[in-house]
Amino acid sequence: MKVLLIGSGGQVGQELGRLLKEPLTVVQLSREQLDLTNLEQTYQTVVDQRPDWVINAAAYTAVDGAESELELAHRINGEAPGVLAKAAADCNAAMVHFSTDYVFDGAQGRPYLESDPPCPVSAYGRSKLAGEEAVKAANPQHLIVRTAWVYGSRWKGNFVKSMLRLGVDRPVIKVVSDQVGTPTWANDIAETTARLITLPVADTAGTYHFTNSGAISWYDFAIAIFSEAIALGLLTKAPDIVPITTAEYSTVAKRPANSALYCTKLRDLLGHAPPYWRDSLRQMLSELV
């Protein structure tokens, strides 16, 4: 089986590139090798490769940047996935596409099901929702995997790495305590994806939620990062972590207040619940030791 992995340089892409091995034939393409803003080249690349699966781990992920780079975000997140899906359909290939909890407004008061109507509150969320719709329209053989708050050990910048860096430089860190979601380790997303592509897509096609288990605020997450990092000897002491509200921490893009996702559909398919967020955090930090 041949897999074409697009966006192999990102957090999820790097973990997929490491995990997907023989007997699979895996062709990995980073942004340097395939720029999704070139839609013609994007289509042609897939058709030339004739894969069985296209996995799209590439995205414009700068949530605040998308508010001013509307067209670029829409092209990468909204249009290119549809082109990949169409090219995959033309080769009778299936497609995995990643999406986000930010397709929801976060106002529901309980975790979101796949069947809940999306209602993004940011340009990034709208561009990702457009991508979902384009994939669905272009190729019935699709798996859309919505995930959230992703961090990976091999990536240059994410919330976990930022906290560890700030913790060395600053005695006090203010962290938002009224946005709730689920931190999710890129490695867990990759492992689940690797399993999903072994199942017959005729039985599985559709939209799924996958995050680690549990839901917390960014503030709770920061406390846990420092506590686990100290236990592992990565840091000697934690800074003071001060909870603040979203209103006190102004960002260009609006973010959902509570975007936790129910992952029961995937749990029922795979027969087990996703790893608990804190266990995955500990494992990721232990890789940094």
Ligand X SMILES: NC(=O)c1ccc[n+]([C@@H]2O[C@H](COP(=O)([O-])OP(=O)(O)OC[C@H]3O[C@@H](n4cnc5c(N)ncnc54)[C@H](OP(=O)(O)O)[C@@H]3O)[C@@H](O)[C@H]2O)c1
Task: Note the residues at the interface with ligand X (CB under 6 A).
Answer: 7, 9-13, 31, 34-37, 57-61, 76, 98, 100-101, 128, 147-150, 155
Q: Which listed residue (60, 124, 151, 219) is catalytic?
A: 124
Q: Which residue is nearest to ligand X (CB)?
A: 10
Of 40 and 203, which has the nearer Cβ to ligand X? 40
- Residue 13 CB, nearest approach to ligand X (Å): 6
Say whether 60 is catalytic.
Answer: no
Of 11 and 177, which has the nearer Cβ to ligand X? 11
Of 32 and 203, which has the nearer Cβ to ligand X? 32
* HEC secondary structure over the chain: CEEEEECCCCHHHHHHHHHCCCCCEEEEECCCCCCCCCHHHHHHHHHHHCCCEEEECCCCCCCCHHHHCHHHHHHHHHHHHHHHHHHHHHCCCEEEEEEEHHHCCCCCCCCECCCCCCCCCCHHHHHHHHHHHHHHHHCCCEEEEEECCEECCCCCCCHHHHHHHHHHHCCEEEEECCCEECCEEHHHHHHHHHHHCCCCHHHHCEEEECCCECCEEHHHHHHHHHHHHHHCCCCCCCCEEEEECHHHCCCCCCCCCECCECCHHHHHHHCCCCCEHHHHHHHHHHHHC
Of 100 and 139, which has the nearer Cβ to ligand X? 100
Residues acting as catalytic residues: 124
